[in-house]
Amino acid sequence: MIKIFFSVAITAILITSCIKPPEYPIEPFIRFESVNKVNFIKFDPDSLKVDIYFEDGDGDIGGLEIDSLNMFWEDSRVPGYRIGSKIPFVNLEGNHKAISGVIHATRGISTCISATDVDTFHYSIQIRDRAGNWSNIIETPDLYINCD
């Protein structure tokens, strides 16, 4: 019995030691995963929750300083105006720096901008790592605010 356990343990160690860690570019990569909902009322007490998959080759996602903004949201109704928010510091464990995961981001819903019954828009989202590398830009699906 001990002999079987020992050979299984040795085999497991050999297999796991042969697994290569992932290799990603040092620029962050993001991909839209999901939103909690797409229909809101103006000044909705429910926030928009967006899940964003990320990869980063050198693992420098998230800010160390309290005031460092590293996630930027652009409302399609106001092109060029970006609102910054903060991704918490990601603590690396082990020898491998390449990381991936899901960011759970929250954004409050504001008011209607257009003079229509329903305001339609989407967010473009981009992140920046601590080295100043920018990710690609992703978009949420269209979001709808009932303006009545």
**At 7, is the secondary structure helix, strand, or coil?**
helix
Q: What residues are paired with 143 via a beta bridge?
A: 121
Q: Which tens digits make up the pLDDT trace of 62-111?
A: 887 777 899 999 999 999 999 999 988 877 776 778 999 999 999 988 78
The highest-confidence range among 80-89, 111-120, 122-131, by mean pLDDT, is 122-131
Instruction: Give the DSSP letter string of 32-87.
Output: EEEES-SEEETT-SSPEEEEEEEEESS---S-SSTT---EEEEETTSTT-EEEE-P
CB 38 within 8 A of CB 50: no
53 versus 113: which is more confidently predicted? Answer: 53
Instruction: Report the topology of domain 22-146.
Output: Immunoglobulin-like (2.60.40)
* Residue in the structure block whose two tokens are 């920018």: 134
What does the domain layout of the chain look like in residue ranges?
22-146
